[in-house]
Structure 1
Amino acid sequence: MISKKAIQIFSVGIIAPLTLQSCQQNAVTNSGDADTLTGRLVITGSSTVAPLVSEIGKQFEGENPNVRIDVQTGGSSRGISDVRNGIADIGMVSRGITPEDDDLSFHSIAQDGVGIIIHQDNPVDSLSDEQVKQIFTGEISNWQEVGGEDAPITVVNKAEGRSTLELFLDYFALSNSQIKPSVVIGDNQQGIKTVEGNLFAIGYVSIGTAEFSVSNNVPIKLLPLNGVMANGDNVANGSFPLSRPLNLVTNGEEDLLTQAFINYSQSAEVHDLIKKQDFVPLSR
């Protein structure tokens, strides 16, 4: 069960109710004009994707005044579960397709990377993949062992169900049971705030979210991975090794409104919104 603290609610057009109604009740009809869309979409899932989808939803509503889009977070696992259970029309998932997802339809809308972050004032400028693994598994526990100050390392890990955790574990060939965290957090903002407030913390978050924070003078920095700088340009050109697609997920039985929103989210009309979120638009 997801706690209220774990769920952020993005109100797009109207205030979304705390209790989601089944998307089965959100019928979509044509109002005589074939170009007029009417109805309400409930979209739940990844905290990485939600701010982007919220902005897309506002723009979509502006072009379709009889439509309301309600966006709620809670993690990629929640998005998938809600779609499977008929609670949400669309799920937001910030990872690729797995064999367990063969009952669902994935619709990519952008790309993102996951980067290692430390405090801006930490003198360490780079870590090898092996050093990152050793830090997160507790084999290295002091910054002095990797060229930093003589201080214990605060390891910030993500909670179960977070796609950034899954991507991190897959890349470093780790299981979550091997991680020895000092702190376990939920979304990207929690991770950034934790590292911002602790000179000796290390964590991992969406590159887009981290770059946005750095541009707003939050005292964190992204570390390169395999010598490749963690930034949007390198995610776009495919050189950054720890990257992922950002997806909308459905049950494969999209109604008129659902399909229209997906098509819009994949169109060039939203590329400016994607870039403002520091994500990378798809080449189409």
Structure 2
Amino acid sequence: MKSIIATSSLFLLCLTLVGCTSSPSTQSGSSELSGQLTLTGSSTVAPLATEIAKRFEQQHPKVRIDVQTGGSGKGIADVRLGVADIGMASRPLAADEADLTAHRIAADGVGLIVHDSNPIKELSQEQIIAIYTDKINNWKEVGGEDKEITVVHKAEGRATLEVFLKHFGIENPSVKGDVIVGENEHAVKTVAGTEGAIGYVSIGTAEADIESGVRIRLLPLDAVKANTENVASGAFPMSRPLNLVTANSPSPLASTFIQFCQSADVHDLVKSQYFVPITSESAVAK
């Protein structure tokens, strides 16, 4: 009889212990998350997603995140096919993509810059198009000084180039650039060193350089001041959302990662990529 009682007590003790530890993945401790996520899509979003993924993996050692590029269209298609857990898109979802959900993680604003000695305060859309298509060549034609305009343009494949061309409705072959640059800082350096130059860069980059004393000035667009605050609010016209895209019922791990991407914990990474953090995003941006 004592043996039976002892065995029963041991069995009950085991049940109690199992009941306390059977669901570690639901506990709030950062070490409990595990699994793998695959992200595919926009080459603009990918570098930011990669840096965020590294930080997430550091906090959750049992999680692995694979980030692959291929364009926004590929990311959306891969999510629909179930090949990727999360797509990356540097544009809003289209009307025929209502079966998906977009989660905004940042905004990308592109602003026009001139040398800070240039007296021009603002240019109209028509004037900007005329300058970039070689129809206006001197600042005096738009109310400025008698100084030749040096057009600074971006090389193929640059995200800021895509935003600029789309906003102004210009085909790239029609642009007549005097200087072709790659990185934002190359454009900033060129404009800062050439009094008659005009260029366009990510607004976050320009603001940081202006604050550090670089001799450039951001021009307003459509009477809206070019700053990160207006990009974040959606008021600045030459901007676009940077989204993570999922099926309407993402996995718990995907949802947790997306929430991390939208949190203040990664605002420093967003800024380091010269994007604008989203501070009032409610989690869904169709």
What TM-score range do you get, normalising by the shorter chain? 0.5 to 0.7
> Deviation of residue 269 (structure 1)?
4.3
Amino acid of the residue matched to residue 120 of structure 2?
V
SS in 1 for 2:190: helix
The answer for unaligned runs of 5 or more in structure 1 is 1-31
Aligned to 1:13: none
The answer for unaligned runs of 5 or more in structure 2 is 1-22, 26-31
CA gap 1:103/1:203 in 2 versus in 1, 3 angstroms: farther
Q: Does 1:113 align with 2:109?
A: yes
> Deviation of residue 85 (structure 1)?
8.4
Mean CA deviation greater in 119-128 or 97-106: 97-106
Higher helix share: 2
1:1-284 residue pairs with structure 2 within 5 A? 33-34=24-25, 35-39=32-36, 45-47=42-44, 49=45, 52-67=48-63, 78-80=70-72, 83=75, 92-97=88-93, 106-248=102-244, 260-267=256-263, 269-271=265-267, 273-274=269-270, 279-281=276-278, 282-284=280-282
> Deviation of residue 104 (structure 1)?
8.1
Amino acid of the residue matched to residue 166 of structure 2?
D
| Structure 1 contact 95–167 (Cα < 8 Å) conserved | no
Q: Deviation per CA, 1:80-128, whole angstroms, max 9, x where unpaired?
A: 4775689998665433345798998744212232111122233323212
Aligned to 1:27: none
| Structure 2 contact 111–219 (Cα < 8 Å) conserved | yes
| Structure 1 contact 106–249 (Cα < 8 Å) conserved | yes
CA gap 1:220/1:67 in 2 versus in 1, 3 angstroms: farther
Aligned length: 248
Aligned to 1:9: none
Kindly, what percent of the aligned residue pairs are identical?
50
Mean CA deviation greater in 270-279 or 185-194: 270-279
Amino acid of the residue matched to residue 147 of structure 2?
A
> Deviation of residue 39 (structure 1)?
4.7
CA gap 1:193/1:85 in 2 versus in 1, 3 angstroms: farther
CA gap 1:189/1:85 in 2 versus in 1, 3 angstroms: farther
CA distance in 2, matches of 1:41, 1:114: 29
Q: Deviation per CA, 1:195-235, whole angstroms, max 9, x where unpaired?
A: 23333221212212221222233322110112221012222
Larger Rg: 2
CA distance in 2, matches of 1:99, 1:219: 43
CA distance in 2, matches of 1:155, 1:178: 13
> Deviation of residue 177 (structure 1)?
2.8
State the TM-score, normalizing by the size of structure 1.
Answer: 0.67
> Deviation of residue 153 (structure 1)?
1.8
SS in 1 for 2:163: helix
CA gap 1:127/1:54 in 2 versus in 1, 3 angstroms: same
CA distance in 2, matches of 1:136, 1:106: 34
CA gap 1:165/1:58 in 2 versus in 1, 3 angstroms: same
| Structure 2 contact 104–281 (Cα < 8 Å) conserved | no
State the TM-score, normalizing by the size of structure 2.
Answer: 0.67
CA distance in 1, matches of 2:101, 2:149: 41
Q: Deviation per CA, 1:252-275, whole angstroms, max 9, x where unpaired?
A: 997776554334213454456546
| Structure 1 contact 79–90 (Cα < 8 Å) conserved | no
Q: Deviation per CA, 1:145-171, whole angstroms, max 9, x where unpaired?
A: 223343322222233444433332232
Amino acid of the residue matched to residue 136 of structure 2?
I
